Amino acid sequence: DGGITQSPKYLFRKEGQNVTLSCEQNLNHDAMYWYRQDPGQGLRLIYYSQIVNDFQKGDIAEGYSVSREKKESFPLTVTSAQKNPTAFYLCASSGPGQGAGETQETQYFGPGTRLLVL
C-alpha cells in the first residue's frame, strides 16, 4: 500500500538535545511538508520541499532544520534552539490528481509524531 510513514510515534527530548523525526513516503510525490500542531492552533507549516535537494522555510522554521537527499525521505531535526518543542508533528506529501488538466495537487498526511520534553 502506498502511504506516508512517520517514526517514532512518540519521542522524548532532553534539554539541549537535537532530535530527528523521520518521514518516508512511497507515493512518488515530489513535494513534502512538515507541520507542527498545538492544541487549538491548527496546523503551522515548518518547512516544505518541492523537489529533491531543495526546501523552503515555512511560517515557523526557527529552531528546526530539514534535508531532502532522497525523493522518498524528508527528515526533520528539532534543534536545541527550539525552546518549546512539545507538539504533534505531521509530515505530508502532495502529488497530482488523476483528472485531465488537473494542476492542483492533493496533500496526504502521515500518522504523526508526538514530541515531549523530559
Partner 1 sequence: AQSVTQPDIHITVSEGASLELRCNYSYGATPYLFWYVQSPGQGLQLLLKYFSGDTLVQGIKGFEAEFKRSQSSFNLRKPSVHWSDAAEYFCAVGAGFTGNQFYFGTGTSLTVIP
CA distance 117 to 58: 23
Smallest gap from Cβ 80 to partner 1, in A, equals 26
Residue from 7, 17, 26, 50 that binds partner 1 (CB under 8 A)?
Answer: 50
Count CB-CB contacts under 10 A for residue 44.
Answer: 14
Q: Is the preceding peptide bond at 39 cis, omega within 30 degrees of 0?
A: no
Smallest gap from Cβ 40 to partner 1, in A, equals 8
Strand, coil or helix: what is 45?
Answer: strand
Smallest gap from Cβ 13 to partner 1, in A, equals 19
Enumerate binding residues for partner 1 (CB under 8 A). Answer: 4, 6, 30-31, 33, 40-43, 50, 88, 90, 92, 94, 96-97, 99, 102-112, 114
